[in-house]
Amino acid sequence: MGKEAWAKKHPDLIPDTRKYLRASGKLYIIENVVSKPLINPFMLCGTFFNLKVYRHRFFESNLFFLVPQHTPHHDNCKAVGKGKSDKGFISVTGYGGFGFTGGFEYAKQAMGINWMKRKELSQAIPPAYTQWIGEQIIMLTGG
């Protein structure tokens, strides 16, 4: 699929979403992957939460978050479906290709998720991220 066809099938809804969220006057958070344009995003990684997945996700918010410093990880994480790295990390991306023996179960454990199907898991945000964000919101806003 060419770039234009892909863009037509997958329109960038972030600018309009941001506009409406800001107009609401409420607290908001937008999540996306590395390459998408967020304003002053903060990044969370599985290593912050002792998860065995390098899963960088970026968040834009109208609330200021104090985020743990990210320590670069120097581990050769194998391609999707090819197994664990030497340090036990797994790539959970794409469309759920956990083709090595026990891979899907390991991926669920690595993400801290045990109830999802393959396709869902590959697109998920680890619950530890949303728990951390929720705790920060409570702390920063008083509830």
Q: What is the pLDDT of residues 23-50, one digit of tens each?
A: 999 999 999 877 778 999 999 999 899 9
What are the domain boundaries of the chain?
3-141
CA 112/CA 123 separation, integer angstroms: 13
**pLDDT given at position 91:** 78
Does residue 59 surpass a pLDDT of 90? yes
Positive/negative CA dihedral, 106, 107, 111, 112: negative
CA 127/CA 74 separation, integer angstroms: 24
Q: pTM for the full model?
A: 0.84
**pLDDT given at position 78:** 67
